[in-house]
Amino acid sequence: MGKPLSPKIKDVGGPPSDQAWVWASTELMSSPAWRARSIYCVRLIEFLQIEHMAHGGYENGKLKATYDQLDRFGIPRKYIKATIQEAEGLRLIEVQQGGQKGVVENHASLYRLTFYHSSVKGRPGERSYYVAPSNEWKTITAEMAREVERTATEARSASRVGRSERSKRSAGDKRNASSRVGNLNGSRVGNSDDSETMQNQSLNEVPYAGTAIYILAPHSEPPGDGQTFTATAFDLETQPVVVPPDDTLRCALKSRLLDLGRGGVSGIARAVGVERSTLSNFAAGRTDLGNGPRQRLIDLLTSVEESSHGKQEQQQDATPLWSRHNIARAS
């Protein structure tokens, strides 16, 4: 430790003797490249400087910085790629080797700070040697620095927008899936201006295929094989719909799977006595169930329907759309 008071500046103004340190020249700190750095670029450079010091100055050119490390250091993960590109554009760093996903052997990226000396690996059997700073940052003009800064800002904005759009699409997909087999109690069908409110509906789902939704009127008789019906409660007399025999059962199954979550398929498959894949293929319309499993599935879904809507059925005079009678008749 230096002296607290001395007539000699070297006694009080020198670098600490008990810890590592790095220098930065006046030319570097006043350069357009250095001054154009964003806060995240500053953190990246500082992280690499810390790594440089941690290795005693011997590993520049082989410095490692993983996404997890940079994230913990204060660079949000969504901005790391743009930050690395910014530092490269200002020619303050050079990425020697990039990490790759989906390969057997994955190597972390290796970085070199261009304003410090670097380590170069010699040929096999020879020791490594060191080269002077390359100082590519000196070639960056003020105009070039502004262009890099603008590009980095746009990349960060695009990253924010991209994540926001993906979140919206994900939420929209979930809402669309729920709306197809979702709660119709008090909901509307078609345009809000001319559709009628669904009344006396005891179950939360309607059968569907693709984007076409098939609606059974609350008290109408279910159609037989190949027959058409008209959902008169919704003023759709001019648009008859053909309901495949198993659509009713498939929709009730999909609704139950949505309620149960990921483990629902396995649980119902065990109760019905079929393989998990068979039940999934049936729900997707790719296969049929045998008479025995089909009847057990009807019994299971009917019991769930009756138990979950028993109180509601006592309070209102409505015939359950997905009753055992309707499922059997639709088959």
Q: Per-residue pLDDT tens for 103-149?
A: 445 567 899 999 999 988 777 777 878 999 999 999 999 999 999 99
Give the pLDDT of residue 2: 57
Query: CA 148 to CA 161: how far, in whole Å?
Result: 20
Domain extent for 232 = 208-330
Most confidently predicted of 112-126, 150-164, 242-256:
112-126
* Residue closest to 190 by CA, chosen among 239, 243, 255: 239
In a domain, 300, yes or no: yes
The domain boundary residue, chosen from 113, 141, 156: 156
Residue 187 has pLDDT above 50, yes or no: no
In a domain, 219, yes or no: yes
Neighbours of 110 (CB within 10 A): 17
How far from each other are the two terminal CA atoms of the chain, in whole angstroms?
90
Work out the percent of the chain whose per-residue pLDDT is above 90: 33
State both tokens at 311: 């109180």
The reply to whether 138 and 215 lie within a common domain is no
Query: CA 287 to CA 285: how far, in whole Å?
Result: 6
In a domain, 172, yes or no: no
Q: Which residue did the predictor score with more confidence, 168 or 283?
A: 283
In a domain, 183, yes or no: no
The reply to whether 23 and 133 lie within a common domain is yes
Residue 185 has pLDDT above 80, yes or no: no
Neighbours of 282 (CB within 10 A): 22
State both tokens at 47: 């992280």
* Residue closest to 215 by CA, chosen among 192, 181, 186, 245: 181
The reply to whether 298 and 228 lie within a common domain is yes
Summary mean pLDDT of the chain: 72
pTM exceeds 0.85 for this model = no
The reply to whether 38 and 151 lie within a common domain is yes
Give the pLDDT of residue 119: 86
Q: Which residue did the predictor score with more confidence, 92 or 177?
A: 92
The reply to whether 106 and 215 lie within a common domain is no
The reply to whether 112 and 243 lie within a common domain is no
The reply to whether 36 and 146 lie within a common domain is yes
Give the pLDDT of residue 61: 92
Residue 104: strand pairing partners: none
The domain boundary residue, chosen from 121, 156, 191: 156
Neighbours of 64 (CB within 10 A): 16
Give the pLDDT of residue 283: 81
Give residue-wise pLDDT tens across range 274-321.
888 888 888 877 778 888 888 888 888 777 655 655 555 554 444 444
The reply to whether 19 and 127 lie within a common domain is yes
Give the pLDDT of residue 309: 55
Give the pLDDT of residue 135: 97
Instruction: Determine which of 151-155, 158-162, 170-174, 214-218 has the lowest per-residue pLDDT on average.
Output: 214-218
Give the pLDDT of residue 324: 44
The reply to whether 147 and 217 lie within a common domain is no
The reply to whether 22 and 138 lie within a common domain is yes
The reply to whether 127 and 223 lie within a common domain is no
* Residue closest to 54 by CA, chosen among 39, 74, 69: 69
* Residue closest to 45 by CA, chosen among 27, 24, 31, 26: 24
In a domain, 314, yes or no: yes
**Domain count across the chain:** 2
The domain boundary residue, chosen from 156, 177, 197: 156
Q: Which residue did the predictor score with more confidence, 215 or 248?
A: 248
In a domain, 269, yes or no: yes
State both tokens at 329: 């008749």
Neighbours of 254 (CB within 10 A): 19
In a domain, 32, yes or no: yes
In a domain, 162, yes or no: no
Residue 26: which residues within 8 A CB-CB, separation 6 or more?
A: none
The reply to whether 243 and 109 lie within a common domain is no
